[in-house]
């Protein structure tokens, strides 16, 4: 973890870049939890559930109980995945996206790097069944590859965030290819599936990045619209509101980076922002790909 933090500090990249300080303006605090690859999508995802009569009521009650254990209210149920993904791949240059073009009132959660490996986060996500995508850096995860296996087994995507977390714009074409292709091989060998998605560290990329990503089998380069800090969210738009299809950036970070706040507390604060604005959370990989 120290190597990744040192990279961020050396480059002096602001928080909105996806790898920077965690200072933020004052805002509402979050409650504490009750206790201190792209696998196939899970059929049981966050929200109130669907069905009729007693079945639907029972599913809503079960969801409310799960979320209440983390001092949260349930999220709306996500719609069924689109039959034709709105972001098409395989048609030339690798697409670079910050949001998904959709009218569905959904957002997409992404967690970067992998330095923090909090067991409570695994329990939280197992209970809440909220989908997300992990953009993993080998330098951050190599101390414990196994931590991410149960998260992937829940149906959460494993995606590429390079081998060593460099600013790719400072590297030549071949060096970029080594960073991206090397991590593709690492993640495929460790988690059993070649990643479809890639995120450049700090959000910095150029046309060499797109070419390297394509040569390594990456289908899309994924940026973001919002960045979660500790209690507050940073917005790129002036209205400071979520919009349908927004991709939200968070990090595997712990108390040393979050001023004493745990990763589960930070994630609970993130989910409160989503719930309060009436959004569901959908699986990013279901909205990106070739038409079915």
Catalytic amino acids? 112, 251
Contact 11, 165 (CB under 8 A): no
Q: Helices in 43-145 by DSSP H: which ranges?
A: 53-68, 119-128, 138-141
CB 261 within 8 A of CB 117: no
Strand-strand pairing, 233-235 and 226-228: antiparallel
- Candidates 21, 19, 32; CA nearest to 266 is 32
| DSSP strand pairing (280-281 vs 96-97) | unpaired
C-alpha to C-alpha distance for 244 and 183, rounded to whole angstroms: 31
Between CA 95 and CA 196 the distance in angstroms is 12
CB atoms within 10 A of CB 261: 21
């Amino acid at each position: 973890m120290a190597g990744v933090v040192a990279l961020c500090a050396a480059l002096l990249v602001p928080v909105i870049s996806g790898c920077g300080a965690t200072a933020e303006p004052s805002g509402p605090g979050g409650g504490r939890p009750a206790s201190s690859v792209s696998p196939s999508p899970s059929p049981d995802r966050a929200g109130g559930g669907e069905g009729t009569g007693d079945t639907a009521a029972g599913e809503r009650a079960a969801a409310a109980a799960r979320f209440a254990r983390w001092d949260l209210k349930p999220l709306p149920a996500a719609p069924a995945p689109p039959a034709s993904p709105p972001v098409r791949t395989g048609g030339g240059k690798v697409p670079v996206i910050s949001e998904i073009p959709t009218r569905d009132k959904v957002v997409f959660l992404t967690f970067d790097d992998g330095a923090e490996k909090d067991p409570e986060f695994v329990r939280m996500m197992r209970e809440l069944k909220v989908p997300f995508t992990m953009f993993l850096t080998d330098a951050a995860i190599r101390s414990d590859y196994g931590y991410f296996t149960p998260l992937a087994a829940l149906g959460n995507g494993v995606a590429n965030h390079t081998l060593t977390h460099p600013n790719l714009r400072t590297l030549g074409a071949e060096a970029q290819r080594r960073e991206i292709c090397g991590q593709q091989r690492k993640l495929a060998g460790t988690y059993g599936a070649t990643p479809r998605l890639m995120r450049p560290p700090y959000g910095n990329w150029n046309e060499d990045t797109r070419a390297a990503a394509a040569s390594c089998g990456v289908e899309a380069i994924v940026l973001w619209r919002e960045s979660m800090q500790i209690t507050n969210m940073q917005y790129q738009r002036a209205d400071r509101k979520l919009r349908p299809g927004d991709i939200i950036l968070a990090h595997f970070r712990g108390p040393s980076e979050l001023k004493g706040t745990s990763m589960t507390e930070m994630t609970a604060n993130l989910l409160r922002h989503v719930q309060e604005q009436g959004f569901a959370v959908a699986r990013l990989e279901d909205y990106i790909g070739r038409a079915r």
